[in-house]
Structure 1
């Protein structure tokens, strides 16, 4: 059982709303950060394969970035309500685990994604960035990543 405070949930939810207002630009920034650290990760995404750079005005790229951030935001809500992460809707943890295994995801990828996510949220909220906000998003992401890793058979 993970303790996630009301304040942490509020911080994640409010910054999520700010992020959503500029998904096209922020999704490009997010994937640029990832590929700067792990250029080979490009081949893991159908919307980046066989393309030079990060495509602009790409609805698939934007939707994927939104999904990652939304799942992390949902994790914050679940942590506050239940003390654990359950992936809901059409996507199951088993499915996420199998896709991550199939794509060859390694622990480094999870670390790079977390770093890129935090930098993207920082860019989105600008002067509202704080240590507490960093911690809240980081904790929500870590719990989601742990749930996916468990579904991958790592934990």
Structure 2
């Protein structure tokens, strides 16, 4: 069980707000990083199949990445308030969806690396080890729940 401090959650919240300030730019950057780290992951996303590069201003891409970052943000809040991420039908469904799309355990570190690099770019000079730790803990706790369905 991981608990985030008020300071850590405030850091996640402010960086999440900055991420949301330019969804097209930040979601494009996120998926570009995913494919730089793991080019074969392109086929896991319907909106990337048949493309040679990450499309700009793609509503499906933006919605998908936006949901990922929002789930991590919500996980951070739950970790502060309850000391755990609530396992609900939505998260269980996410596990099932990820299985059906071919997601395996080794994909999770790729997404985590891309998330952290995206947030680092989003916040620029405000990046800190504390911010890195907060996003890492929130992602890891969320991933545990989703992986239970994937395993």
TM-score, with length taken from structure 1: 0.93
Question: What's the counterpart of residue 77 of structure 1?
Answer: 77
Is 1:145 the counterpart of 2:143? The answer is: yes
How much has 1:35 moved relative to structure 2? Answer: 0.6
CA distance in 2, matches of 1:82, 1:151: 22
SS in 2 for 1:115: helix
Runs of 4+ that moved beyond 3 A: none
Q: 1:87 to 1:71 in 2, by over 3 A?
A: farther
Deviations 1:130-155 (CA, angstroms, capped at 9, x unpaired): 00000000100000001101122x3x
TM-score when normalising by structure 2: 0.95
The Cα RMSD (Å) is 1.3
Distance in 2, matches of 1:126 and 1:69, equals 17
Query: Quick check: 1:32 aligned with 2:32?
Result: yes
Partner in structure 1 of residue 112 of structure 2? 114
C-alpha separation in 2, matches of 1:133 and 1:79: 15
Secondary structure at the residue paired with 2:106?
helix
Counterpart contact for 1:34–1:112, Cα < 8 Å: yes
Which residue in the other structure is 2:96 paired with?
Answer: 98
Aligned to 1:107, what secondary structure does the other structure show?
A: coil
Q: Is the 8 A contact 1:71 1:87 kept in 2?
A: no
Alpha-carbon offset, residue 87 of structure 1: 5.6
> Offset at 1:57?
1.1
Give the match for residue 58 of structure 2: 58
Question: Any unmatched runs of 5+ in structure 1?
Answer: none
Unpaired segments of 5 or more residues in structure 2? none
Q: State the shift of 1:2 in Å.
A: 2.0
